[in-house]
């Protein structure tokens, strides 16, 4: 038996991805869209869901050294991107989560409207804050899986608050950090230049096991369209943020 054949025969053929030992990460893709938190001993504790993004410097030429020397305060300004509907805009990606509990209650956790949730009380989902400039820490949602028996399903989504479609001009990534085992990464790298929202991942309680499934479905509307797509049945109205 050849050396490579023995390696291939030794690989697990289970339905769930087991991650990469080199990077200690599981990348959810179209071919491998599902991972079980229970199978890696992470059905309890805190599940951290992080959104990070940055501008593609090729879209606006980057910041040259001479420009920074002439205008040093530019270092403290958020980057801008060229968009299809306006000349130059700031991109503000927001992280949100639709939740449905086993008692039938439903709702949303998101910056818009100040629905930041709670971890030690229903819905056991909480948003850390609102990052408007794509900082390295991004935005984070915490899910208290010690109360997983109360959680039926969650839908983590990302939307562009300023209504300027520019998903294809950012390096957006959602990363899940379970209490045990490798992190789980989902890149929002599909070409959807006019999309304003994206259903990223579902987390569903399947007989006590929290199962994570990649969605990455871009839509051209906002939360109401995601609601219709996944059958949440909430009533939506227009909301605004306070000024930064």
pLDDT, position 128 = 86
pLDDT band of 141, cuts 50, 70, 90: very high
pLDDT, position 129 = 67
Residue 198 CB coordination number (10 Å): 24
pLDDT band of 68, cuts 50, 70, 90: very low
Q: What is the mean pLDDT of the chain?
A: 78
3-state helix, strand, coil in the chain (%, to 5): 15, 35, 50
pLDDT band of 54, cuts 50, 70, 90: confident
pLDDT, position 25 = 94
pTM metric for this prediction: 0.76
| 159, two tokens | 């939307």
pLDDT, position 55 = 61
- 63, 193 contact by CB (below 8 A): no
């Amino acid at each position: 038996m050849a050396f490579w054949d023995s390696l291939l025969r030794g690989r697990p053929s289970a339905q769930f991805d087991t991650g990469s030992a080199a990077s200690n990460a599981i990348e959810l893709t179209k071919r491998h869209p599902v991972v079980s938190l229970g199978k890696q001993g992470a059905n309890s504790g805190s599940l951290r869901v992080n959104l990070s993004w940055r501008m593609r410097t090729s879209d606006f030429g980057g910041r040259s050294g001479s420009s920074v020397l002439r205008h040093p305060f530019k270092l403290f300004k958020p980057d801008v991107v060229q968009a299809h509907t306006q000349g130059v805009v700031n991109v503000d990606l927001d992280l949100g989560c639709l939740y449905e509990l086993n008692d039938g209650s439903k709702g949303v956790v998101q910056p818009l409207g100040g629905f930041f949730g709670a971890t030690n009380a229903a819905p056991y989902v909480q948003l850390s804050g609102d990052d408007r400039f794509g900082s390295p820490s991004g935005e984070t949602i915490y899910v208290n899986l010690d109360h997983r028996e109360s959680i039926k399903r969650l839908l983590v989504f990302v939307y562009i608050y300023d209504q300027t479609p520019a998903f294809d001009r950012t390096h957006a990534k959602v990363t899940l950090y379970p209490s045990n085992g490798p992190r789980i990464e989902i890149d929002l790298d599909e070409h959807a230049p006019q999309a304003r929202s994206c259903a990223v991942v579902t987390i569903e309680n399947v007989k006590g096991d929290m199962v994570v499934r990649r969605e990455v479905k871009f839509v051209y509307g906002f939360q109401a369209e995601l609601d219709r797509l996944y059958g949440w049945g909430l009533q939506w109205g227009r909301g605004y943020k306070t000024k930064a």
